[in-house]
Amino acid sequence: MDNVHIPDGTLPIDEIHEFCLNYEKKITDLGGLDLQILGIGRTGHIGFNEPGSAPNSGTRLVTLDDLTRRDASRDFGGKENVPTKAITMGIGTIFKAREIILMAWNKKKAFIIKKAVEGEISSEVPATYLQLSDNVEFIIDKDAASELTRFNTPWLVKDCTWDLPMIKKAVIWLANTLGKPILKLTEEDYNSHGMAQLATEQGPVYNINIHIFNKLQHTITGWPGGKGNADDSQRPERAVPDKKRSIIFSPHPDDDVISMGGTFIRLVDQGHDVHVAYQTSGNTAVWDDDALRFVEFARDFSKSINLDTSKLDDLGKTTRNPVAEDDVLITMELLERVKPHQVFAAGDFADPHGTHKVCFDIIIEALRRLKDLFPGDDAREFWVRAEDRTRETAKAYDRLGLAEYEAMEAFVRWEY
């Protein structure tokens, strides 16, 4: 570690200026930096060079952006515990390194990575300065790269293999870009937006529009468990068996109702065998009285929709610990006992505590072991976020020219 030099964030305020000067001098005296390893914040900061930082800035004390502090709140046990200031190496100092590597993981970084790589160079996104260097390498995973043009809209930069998922993605993108319903898209629209290859290989465009419109239309259903004794060739769920066993995994005791309450009620009303699994105890997040109140809330809701409370499974009876083998095993035991035809899992990873993602990963691991699968930072209250999401889903369908609804609960289907 003798060759690794990290600014000392524990210094008294009156010693920081001299420390920064000595830090810069030490870099010069040692012949410069061989390697600079960077992360990137959602403000576009590198180091802690927040928006507004100058390209020739040196090591200094800075005030942290509010978003940066919110993102760090989990590591500090709350935003109020996150420091308001930090010592950072300057952008000018970073550029003196002989090699610069920026690393980023997960979907949360996708939009800022796109700005850093493809956006205009600006002090408002300090990471864009890296475009000026010839010795920078970005090491990012698939999720962090997902908004880059070559991955998100590849037809704009290269020829594509036009399978159904790619065609659907492109047509929806075109309709949203132009603000037109799918059935009103023209050949000129395709040709002027990088989709001439699609029009030529799969056209005429009228047929493409009809095909994708019908595909989207067939994702809408009022029968989430399938409709028995009906033709299911154009429905999102199979008709057989007529009555299905379903498990709804709910990270918190209210997630099932908030995220898919309408679907939950339909499944019960239509006679399916519905089980609910609650995955967390809440022992570190709420008082015991509140935890008991949520238990009663879950039971009362189940009774109100005529769901037998014996179908409620509490998988979060133990105190909070890091995810362990036992968490996967009890989930596997439930799946093996119920043998569900359908499994519903919370996919809202904007949960600021990360609980939804942890619970989702446990479910996927349990399913993977039982049978191979085929391939949050939002400050709003969860119920507000869910309500907004269902309304926005309905609006998105409406904009594409499909039937208009007040709200729609959306699911991604994984076959297993």
HSE of 69 in the Cβ direction (CA atoms, 13 Å)?
14
Rounded to 10 degrees, what is the CA torsion of 310, 311, 312, 315? 110
What is the rounded distance in angstroms from the CA atom of residue 5 to the CA atom of residue 20?
12
Rounded to 10 degrees, what is the CA torsion of 363, 366, 372, 373? 0
Kindly name the residue from 18, 24, 50, 325 that is annotated as catalytic: 50
What is the rounded distance in angstroms from the CA atom of residue 145 to the CA atom of residue 159?
19
Q: Can you name the residues that pair with 344 across neighbouring β-strands?
A: 248
CB atoms within 10 A of CB 403: 10
Q: Can you name the residues that pair with 313 across neighbouring β-strands?
A: 277
What are residue 196's phi and psi, to 5 degrees? Answer: -65, -35
User: Which pairing describes strands 85-88 and 60-63: parallel, antiparallel, or unpaired?
Assistant: antiparallel
Is 365 annotated in the active site? no
What is the rounded distance in angstroms from the CA atom of residue 216 to the CA atom of residue 365?
30
Residue that the structure tokens 């809209």 belong to? 153
Catalytic residue IDs: 50
